A = this chain, B = another copy of it.
Amino acid sequence: MAHKVGIVGASGYGGAELVRLLEAHPDLDLEVVAAHSQAGEPVSSLYPNLAGDRVFDEVDLGRLIGLDLVFLATPHGPSLQLGGALRHADTRVVDLSGGFRLTAQDFSSWYGEEHPTPDLTPTPGVATPTGEPDRAVYGLPEMFRDSIRGSSFVANPGCYPTAALLGLAPLAPLLEAGSVVIDGKSGSSGAGRAAADRLHFSHVHGDLTAYGAPAHRHTGEIETWLPGDLGPVSFTPHLIPMSRGLFITGYGSTTDGVGPDEVADALHTAYDDEPFVHVLAAGTFPHTKALAGSNGVQVSAVVDERAGRVLVTCAIDNLGKGAAGQALQNANLMLGLPEQTALSALGVYP
């Protein structure tokens, strides 16, 4: 029997991508497609790809509580409130916002506000916080699959942290503390749908710029979940003239004795059994477009022996593995469904 699910924040890009994925899911019935400001409007008026008769629903907590699982694709403000209320009612939640990805203390530091429900925030460094069923689990299946399986509350990772962690986590034991630099590149959909001068087609087309450095919130999220004690990382995001796609280029100084074999082994050990992660040969590099519309990941590392560094690159679709795809992967795990249901690792190319 199908599980009943709902989305709040369905008018945003992450929410609308979830609608697209869920329309093809054989075991999940999408019963609520809520969008506060767009309630009553046809979904197709905002998303011309989502042809059909769906209309955005009101955000009705009572109705949401009755579902088997709710995806929160809202900004962190509404997510903090809805996440708490839904968990109070014991409804399963996958939260795509940044509301439950950090400890309460770090949340306060990076978001500039107190966390309203610190007892729901996750416990980093505790690989499988199964003893604390109420706390959010950080929903990166390749790192925390077992915890996600047993959880009713998953904090879906940010887009940049997903790529940064998938690229760097397996290599962390090989790197010197204080040496990590992450140069991020993302398409415009990562900035959300709200019309803004800086996102005007005329301004982004043919342009490249940086933004948000050196204190982008995703920096704290990466530091929180990167294994070991590597210290502060430098993270600089860039806006790339493409709609979808996210790529990180990570740099770290290698500890003594680390060479190409150790690096390759670390990636293959981590990912050879993963259904969505593909390790490329050293010297070849990921292509964001190879993953468009999919939940796939490409990762590659090469050692710069002259400079004593490892260079790791990782690409995802920011709305796929970086948001909606990963959210569905988490939901499949939480509900005991095959992890790959309604997800593909093959992007639409060219």
Would you call A205 and B188 a contact (CB within 8 A)? yes
Would you call A200 and B214 a contact (CB within 8 A)? no
Would you call B350 and A189 a contact (CB within 8 A)? yes
CB-CB contacts below 8 Å: A189-215 with B: 189, 193, 195-197, 199-211, 213-215
Q: SS class of chain A's interface: helix, strand, loop or mixed?
A: loop
Docked Cα-Cα span, A240 to B288, in Å, equals 11
User: A88-96, A98-106, A301-309: which lies at the B interface?
Assistant: A301-309
What are the residues of chain B within 8 A of A302 when measuring CB–CB?
Answer: 213-214
Would you call B51 and A201 a contact (CB within 8 A)? no
Docked Cα-Cα span, A24 to B210, in Å, equals 30
Q: Which of A206, A234, A289 is most buried by chain B, counting CB atoms within 10 A of its CB?
A: A206
Is A346 an interface residue when CB atoms closer than 8 A count as contact?
A: yes
What are the residues of chain B within 8 A of A289 when measuring CB–CB?
Answer: 48-49, 203, 205-208
Would you call A193 and B185 a contact (CB within 8 A)? no
What are the residues of chain B within 8 A of A313 when measuring CB–CB?
Answer: 210
Is A10 an interface residue when CB atoms closer than 8 A count as contact?
A: no
A17 to chain B, nearest CB (A): 8
Docked Cα-Cα span, A196 to B200, in Å, equals 8
Would you call A49 and B347 a contact (CB within 8 A)? yes
Known A-B contacts A49-B348, A185-B238; A243 and B205 likewise in contact (beta carbons under 8 Å): yes
Q: Report the interface size for chain A: residues with CB under 8 A from the other chain.
A: 82
What are the residues of chain B within 8 A of A210 when measuring CB–CB?
Answer: 247, 249, 285-286, 313
Is A241 an interface residue when CB atoms closer than 8 A count as contact?
A: yes
Is A151 an interface residue when CB atoms closer than 8 A count as contact?
A: no
Is A295 an interface residue when CB atoms closer than 8 A count as contact?
A: no
Docked Cα-Cα span, A210 to B203, in Å, equals 21
What are the residues of chain B within 8 A of A209 when measuring CB–CB?
Answer: 247, 285-288, 315
Would you call A185 and B201 a contact (CB within 8 A)? no
A101 to chain B, nearest CB (A): 19
Would you call A188 and B208 a contact (CB within 8 A)? no
Is A251 an interface residue when CB atoms closer than 8 A count as contact?
A: yes
Would you call A24 and B200 a contact (CB within 8 A)? no
